[in-house]
Amino acid sequence: MTTVALQPRPEGDLTAAFAYLRRLPGMDDAAVREAVAALVAFSVDQGLSLAGVHHEERPSERLDIWMELVMSCRSEGVTNVLVLSADHFHHDPVVAAYMREELADRIRGTVWLASEAAVTGQPAQAVGADDHDR
């Protein structure tokens, strides 16, 4: 499921972004709303215009939502994806890192983790399609 535009489409210096949110174990509807609010706040902090959030209602939708996200990015020319934390990719850090790099490559752009900015107090480190050799 994808929510529609949360903020106006980009104008001027704002760059469009989509967000990806996997419903983690124990996340109820209130937690999902809080997560979306955190993604909106993060997009503002990064100077990005959040065009929509791709999120799954059930784990069985993961592949469909993933492909919908990639196709939306490609068709809309969006090269930024925001994710709250690596856990939203996978619980195994190695698999999560691979998925993050794979997504950056598929969208030919940048994947931002909001949790990195929150922990360090610094701007988020983005992984882009050309960062595979890190």
Q: What is the pLDDT of residues 30-80, one digit of tens each?
A: 998 999 999 999 999 888 999 999 988 777 788 899 999 999 999 999 999
Give pTM, 2 decimals: 0.80
Strand partners, 21: 55
Q: pLDDT: is 97 or 131 the higher one? A: 97
pLDDT of residue 79: 92
Q: Check if CATH label 3.40.50.300 holds for domain 15-128.
A: no
Predicted pLDDT at 63:
87
